[in-house]
Amino acid sequence: MSETPVCADRATPSSAVDATAGDRGLLVAALEAVDQAVCVSDMRRPDEPIVYVNPAFTQTTGYTAAQALGRNCRFLQDGLDVGDAPARIRALLREGRSGVVTLPNGRADGTVFVNELSLSPLHDAEGVLTHYVAVQRDVTDRVEAERARDVSRLEQTELAEQLQRTLVPRRLPDAPGYALAVRYSPATRADGSRGAVSGDVYDLVPRPGGGWFAVIGDISGRGPRAAAATGVLRWSLRGVATTVDGPAELLRDVAAVVLDAMDGRFATAAVVALPDLADPAGDEAVMDGAPTDGALTDGRPGSGGAATAVVALAGHPRPVLLPADGPARHVGRHGSLLGVLPDVSTYDEAVPLRPGDQLVLFTDGVTETMDSSRQMLGGDGLLAALDGIAPEDRRGPHAQDATADAVLAAVEAHAGGPSSDDLTLLVIARPVAAP
DSSP assigned state of 3: S
Is there a contact between 395 and 356 (Cβ–Cβ < 8 Å)? yes
DSSP assigned state of 113: E
Question: Hey, where are the domains in the chain?
Answer: 14-138, 152-429
| 403 three-class SS | helix
* Top-tier CATH class for 14-138: alpha beta
CA separation, residue 284 to residues 205, 288, 393 (Å):
18, 7, 31
Is there a contact between 187 and 200 (Cβ–Cβ < 8 Å)? no
CA separation, residue 256 to residues 251, 260, 270, 284, 339 (Å):
9, 8, 16, 27, 8
Between helix 140-167 and helix 224-240 the angle, nearest 10°, is 10
pLDDT at 294: 36
CA separation, residue 401 to residues 162, 331, 389, 394 (Å):
26, 21, 11, 10
| Fold category of 152-429 in CATH | Phosphatase 2c; domain 1 (3.60.40)
- Helix, strand, coil abundance in the chain, percent, nearest 5: 35, 25, 40
Q: What is the pTM of this model?
A: 0.63
Per-residue pLDDT of the chain (435 residues; tens, 9 = 90+): 344 444 433 334 333 445 555 666 787 788 888 889 999 999 999 999 999 999 999 999 999 999 999 999 999 999 999 999 999 999 999 999 999 999 999 999 999 999 999 999 999 999 999 999 999 999 999 999 999 988 887 776 676 666 666 777 888 999 999 999 999 887 655 555 555 566 788 999 999 989 999 999 998 877 667 777 888 888 899 999 999 989 999 999 999 888 887 777 899 999 999 999 876 554 443 444 445 443 333 344 544 477 999 999 999 999 999 999 999 999 999 999 998 888 899 999 999 999 999 999 999 999 999 998 999 999 999 999 999 999 889 988 899 999 999 999 999 999 988 777 788 999 999 998 644
Furthest CA-CA distance within the chain: 105
